[in-house]
């Protein structure tokens, strides 16, 4: 590939050491895998878990139908594809900003591993494969999924014009709660809307933690974020967001027909969120990233809680 920088390893600075992509993927694939963040799978999980919650919530409301396992498999694949497409589009738009930030200047486009033109071709390929996944669902879900593309498209520009880019990330990253529900029911209701709202607050909270890594560089180049907006009040602000998410998740479960079992098990997720805040240290290298990554366990816990309540 002519656009791969042969002069260096090309490893992205904030990717995990010895990740599977850098260890096993063919050399020609690695730059594109880095562009799609295949070397960092946890955020793809964070995109998938609201999908699983929506499916699980629908199972509570329709216990005779059960949990949509095949829908969950399709949405897991779709989450990988669309997260990759979103990251590719974000890197195309943010290539000049990324070149000025220490953590991101080693990404494929600013480092010269992938040209903008080839990144665009890769973006189109991911979107087309994602469309193949989406067209396996009912008409309502297909149109709802198409509507979400607008949220994906506007997100990269929000950090330039608002202090709340994390809110727009929440709108896009939590949308699976809607798709998971509609894939099983063919329509909407208050329960999935409350689930979606709770997931949005959760995303704002955990991405604020993530943004703490870049707060100094963002201030220098004028990039806005909730991490900068909250400043010294970042911990209580995230506590409010996480508390609101927990309340909305439980309200959604009650409306869908959930029992005390979900409420009890969801306390484990609340404990994980509380641990993040209790141990958060923005000045310790790697600390915000580790707290951000731990939200993967929140997704797992709530999915298992919904499954357990459905079985109950």
What predicted TM-score, i.e. pTM, was given to this entire model? 0.89
Q: Does residue 259 have a pLDDT over 80?
A: yes
Instruction: State the pLDDT at residue 21.
Output: 82
Mean pLDDT, residues 148-166: 92
Sign, Cα dihedral of 42, 48, 52, 54: positive
pLDDT of residue 16: 61
| pLDDT, position 17 | 65
Amino acid 11: pLDDT: 61
Q: Is the pLDDT of residue 7 over 70?
A: no
Residue 186, pLDDT score: 92
The answer for residues whose C-beta is within 8 angstroms of residue 21's C-beta and 6 or more apart is 15, 30, 33, 34, 38, 39
CATH number of 25-311: 1.10.357.140
**Any idea where the domains of the chain sit in the sequence?**
25-311
Which phi-psi region, left, alpha or beta, contains residue 90 (left: φ > 0; alpha: ψ -120 to 50)? alpha
pLDDT attached to residue 10: 59
Q: Are 279 and 29 in contact (CB under 8 A)?
A: no
Residue 12: band (very low, low, confident or very high) from pLDDT cuts 50, 70, 90 = low
Is 111 strand, coil or helix? coil
245 touches 264 (CB < 8 A):
no
- Six-digit token string for 255: 């409306």
What single DSSP character describes residue 230? H
Least confident of 92-106, 130-144, 277-291: 92-106
Asked if pLDDT for residue 61 goes beyond 70, the answer is yes
Residue 67 is predicted with a pLDDT of 85
Residue scoring higher pLDDT (127 or 34):
127
Highest mean pLDDT among 6-15, 106-115, 177-186: 177-186
Residue 8 has pLDDT above 50, yes or no: no
Residue 229 has pLDDT above 70, yes or no: yes
């Amino acid at each position: 590939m002519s656009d791969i920088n042969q002069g260096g390893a090309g490893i992205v600075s904030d990717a995990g050491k010895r990740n599977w992509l850098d260890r096993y993927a063919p050399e020609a694939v690695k730059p594109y895998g880095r562009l799609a963040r295949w070397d960092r799978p946890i955020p793809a999980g964070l995109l998938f878990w609201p999908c699983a919650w929506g499916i699980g919530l629908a199972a509570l409301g329709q216990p005779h139908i059960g949990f949509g396992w095949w829908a969950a498999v399709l949405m897991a694949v779709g989450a990988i594809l669309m997260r990759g497409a979103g990251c590719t589009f974000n890197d195309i738009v943010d290539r000049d900003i990324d070149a000025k930030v220490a953590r991101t200047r080693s990404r494929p486009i600013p480092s010269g591993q992938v040209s903008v033109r080839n990144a665009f071709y890769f973006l189109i390929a991911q979107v087309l494969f994602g469309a193949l996944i989406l067209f396996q669902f009912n008409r309502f879900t297909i149109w709802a999924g198409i509507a979400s593309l607008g949220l994906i498209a506007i997100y990269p520009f929000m950090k330039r014009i608002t202090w709340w880019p994390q809110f727009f990330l929440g709108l896009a990253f939590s949308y699976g709660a809607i798709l998971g529900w509609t894939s099983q029911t063919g329509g909407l209701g208050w329960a999935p809307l409350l689930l979606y709202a709770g997931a949005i607050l959760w995303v704002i909270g955990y991405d604020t933690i993530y943004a703490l890594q870049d707060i100094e560089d963002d201030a220098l180049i004028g990039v806005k974020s909730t991490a900068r907006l909250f400043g010294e009040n970042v911990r209580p602000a995230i506590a409010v967001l996480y508390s609101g998410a927990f309340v909305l998740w439980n309200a959604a479960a009650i409306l869908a027909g959930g029992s005390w079992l979900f409420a009890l098990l969801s306390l484990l997720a609340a404990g994980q969120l509380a641990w993040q805040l209790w141990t958060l240290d923005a000045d310790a290298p790697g600390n915000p990233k580790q707290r951000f990554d731990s939200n993967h366990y929140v997704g797992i816990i709530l999915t298992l809680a919904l499954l357990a309540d459905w079985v109950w």
